């Protein structure tokens, strides 16, 4: 298990390229199943090289796909046979987003057996809304030995309300929208997730022959078609990766240009950063993020898109922990997503958690210490805090960060961070 050892205090300066989005790539790769054998290959450009993607590739291969990286980096996915429709626990427990093969498998093969994803470090994470949506289209769903078993003779279009207690569901919308592409008749999803990753999936499915309108709004209409075929598609830039690097630039009082960054996907984040004193200037294909003074405190609440994303909550907590004054962060998507609180406190952050709200008393400085990564975004927050903490911060269990950020230490080194990756053995020497 590797760790990242960070010497705090270096100002980040230079340019960074944002990779394709992990959370867009995972459902897009699952969507390629909808072409079926003989339907031609799907080529996805800008799929990042991450452990979650490696797991998704392994799953697609088990499901009868040939998957390979082309010389130009594009991921080629071609369905060769449809005999096996079982996503086993071994794979699903490594990556719960494997659930996004459920809709495509059911629509195309009329049968899917998917291990029920368990909870994870950020909360319970049920999939009841995904199942409710598929049932509304005529799927029969049972649970056996921890597996969800979904069958249908033919999915039929339906009017489906897909909202839940915490708002819309991103992968639930992806699953139901994907399944509806091959249903008989028209499906209307009300309270659909509006995230850019849903829009990206709809664009790719349309290029494959689907008839989807309204993606990016709470009401999506899908007119079912007979068959889909392969297509070529470029994955959108990762807005969470971009937001994470923005915070890293801001906390170090640096100046970093982000290439391949879509500010229109990050409006709530940019608004908050500007409000606390970060300078963000848009240019052709990207933006420059700079900070020249002590930042101000803020109040923020996570919400479904276009609100402030839960996937940047931990990173902002690190940033606000050295802001001037008291800040308040409320988590409305995953109310238990706070494992980073105790670790940030080890670095000297003054945090008081009350239910799903954390009050942050801004400090003048943080002080380096060994800390433990608990999940992907919490790890990113600890790295960000380490960039400014006085002395050495060692972030252990960084395999979490490799799930979502490709070569993070190398890219941060390129803009001036003092950070290195060490193995457990090296750490113990
Ligand atoms: N929910 C239910 N029932 C369901 C589905 C969701 O109650 O059937 C609840 C969840 O428990 C949560 C809320 O609805 O309270 C929203 O969850 P959502 O379904 O939108 O999450 P997801 O689709 O499983 C994706 C991202 C997450 C991101 C969330 C929210 C992927 C692969 N994952 O998860 O990304 O936090 O949307 O934006 O797209 C990450 O990248 O670090 C990450 C966790």
pLDDT at 376: 94
DSSP helix/strand/coil, 349: coil
Q: Classify residue 138 by its DSSP letter.
A: T
The answer to whether 120 is a known catalytic residue is yes
Q: Percentage of residues in the chain with pLDDT exceeding 70?
A: 100
Q: Which residue has the higher pLDDT, 125 or 251?
A: 251
Q: How far away, in angstroms, is 304 Cα from ligand 1 center?
A: 10
Q: Which of 201-205, 334-338, 385-389, 422-426 has the lowest mean pLDDT?
A: 422-426
Q: Which of 65, 100, 120, 194 is catalytic?
A: 120
The binding-site residues of ligand 1, defined as CB within 6 angstroms of any ligand atom, are: 23, 26, 97, 123, 125-130, 164, 166, 169-172, 193, 310-311, 333-334, 376-377, 404
The DSSP string of 204-245 is: HHHHTT-EEE-BTBSEEEEE--S-----EEEPPB-HHHHHHH
Q: Report pLDDT for 425.
A: 78
pLDDT classification of 316: cutoffs 50, 70, 90: very high
Query: What CA–CA distance (Å, rounded) separates 52 from 352?
Result: 33
For residue 402, what are its two tokens?
A: 């490799």
For residue 166, give every residue at least 6 positions away whose Cβ sits within 8 Å of its Cβ, in sequence order, or none: 332, 333, 334, 335
The overall pTM is greater than 0.95: yes
* CA-only gyration radius of the chain, Å: 22
User: What is the 8-class DSSP label of residue 310?
Assistant: G
**Residue 429 C-alpha to ligand 1 middle, in angstroms?**
40
Which two three-digit tokens encode residue 101? 């093969």
Instruction: Determine which residue's CA is closest to atom 37 belonging to ligand 1.
Output: 170
Q: pLDDT tens digits for 3-31?
A: 999 999 999 999 999 999 999 999 999 99
Residue 125 pLDDT class (50, 70, 90 cuts):
confident
- Which of 121, 150, 171 best tests ligand 1's pocket when mutated (most atoms within 8 Å of CB)? 171
Q: At residue 429, does pLDDT exceed 80?
A: no
pLDDT at 360: 98
Which residue has a Cα nearest atom 33 of ligand 1? 23
Atom 36 (ligand 1) nearest CA: 311
Strands 186-190 and 159-161: parallel
Q: Which of 169, 200, 335, 402 to mutate to test the pocket of ligand 1 (most atoms within 8 A of CB)?
A: 169
- Segment 55-73, tens digit of pLDDT: 999 999 999 999 999 999 9
For 132-154, the pLDDT digits (tens) are 999 999 999 999 999 999 999 99
- pLDDT tens digit sequence for 233-284: 999 999 999 999 999 999 999 999 999 999 999 999 999 999 999 999 999 9
User: 10 Å Cβ neighbour count for 218?
Assistant: 16
d(CA 420, CA 209): 46
Q: What is the mean pLDDT of the chain?
A: 96
- 170 CA from centroid of ligand 1 (Å): 6
Query: Residue of the nearest CA to atom 4 in ligand 1?
Result: 127
Q: Which atom of ligand 1 is nearest to the CA of 120?
A: 44
Q: What are 362-386's pLDDT values in tens digits? A: 999 999 999 999 899 999 999 999 9
pLDDT of 366 reads: 98
Measure the CA–CA gap between 15 and 415, rounded to whole angstroms: 7
Instruction: For residue 392, report the distance from its CA to the centre of ligand 1, in Å.
Output: 34
CA of 97 to the centre of ligand 1 (A): 9
Q: Which one has a higher pLDDT value, 424 or 295?
A: 295
pLDDT score recorded for residue 1: 83
């Amino acid at each position: 298990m590797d760790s990242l050892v960070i010497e705090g205090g270096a100002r980040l300066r230079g340019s960074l390229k944002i990779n394709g989005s992990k959370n867009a790539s995972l459902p897009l790769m699952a969507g390629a199943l909808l072409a079926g054998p003989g339907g031609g290959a799907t080529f996805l450009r800008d799929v990042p090289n991450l452990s979650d993607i490696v797991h998704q590739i392994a799953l697609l291969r088990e499901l009868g796909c040939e998957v390979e990286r082309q010389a130009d980096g594009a991921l080629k996915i071609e369905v060769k046979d449809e005999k096996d429709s079982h996503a086993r626990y071994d794979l699903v427990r490594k990556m719960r987003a494997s659930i996004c093969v459920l809709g495509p498998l059911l629509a195309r093969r009329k049968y899917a057996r998917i291990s029920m994803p368990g909870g994870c470090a950020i909360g319970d994470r049920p999939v009841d809304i995904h199942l409710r949506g598929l049932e509304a289209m005529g799927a029969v769903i049972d649970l056996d030995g921890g597996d969800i078993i979904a069958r249908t003779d033919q999915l039929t279009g339906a009017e489906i309300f897909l909202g839940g207690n915490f708002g819309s569901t991103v992968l639930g919308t992806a699953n139901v929208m994907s399944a509806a592409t091959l249903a008989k008749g028209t499906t209307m999803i009300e309270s659909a997730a509006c995230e850019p990753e849903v829009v990206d999936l709809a664009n790719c499915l349309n290029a494959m022959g689907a008839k989807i309108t309204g993606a990016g709004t709470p009401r999506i209409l899908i007119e079912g078609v007979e068959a889909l075929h392969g297509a070529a598609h470029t994955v959108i830039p990762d807005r969470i990766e971009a937001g994470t690097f923005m915070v890293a630039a801001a906390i170090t009082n640096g100046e970093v240009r982000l290439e391949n960054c879509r500010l229109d996907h990050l409006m709530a984040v940019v608004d908050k950063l500007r409000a606390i004193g970060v300078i963000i200037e848009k240019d052709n294909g990207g933006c420059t993020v700079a900070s020249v003074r002590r930042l101000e405190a803020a109040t923020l609440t996570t919400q479904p898109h276009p609100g402030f994303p839960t996937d940047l909550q931990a990173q902002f907590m690190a940033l606000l922990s050295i802001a001037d004054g008291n800040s308040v962060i409320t988590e409305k998507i995953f109310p238990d997503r706070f494992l980073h609180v105790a670790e940030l406190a080890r670095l000297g952050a003054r945090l008081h958690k009350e239910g799903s709200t954390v009050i942050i008393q801004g400090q003048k400085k943080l002080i380096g210490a060994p800390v433990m990564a608990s999940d992907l975004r919490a790890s990113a927050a600890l790295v960000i805090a380490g960039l400014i903490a006085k002395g050495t911060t060692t972030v252990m269990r960084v395999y979490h960060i490799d799930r979502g950020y490709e070569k993070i230490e190398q890219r941060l080194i390129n803009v001036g961070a003092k950070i290195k990756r060490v193995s457990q053995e090296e750490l113990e020497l």
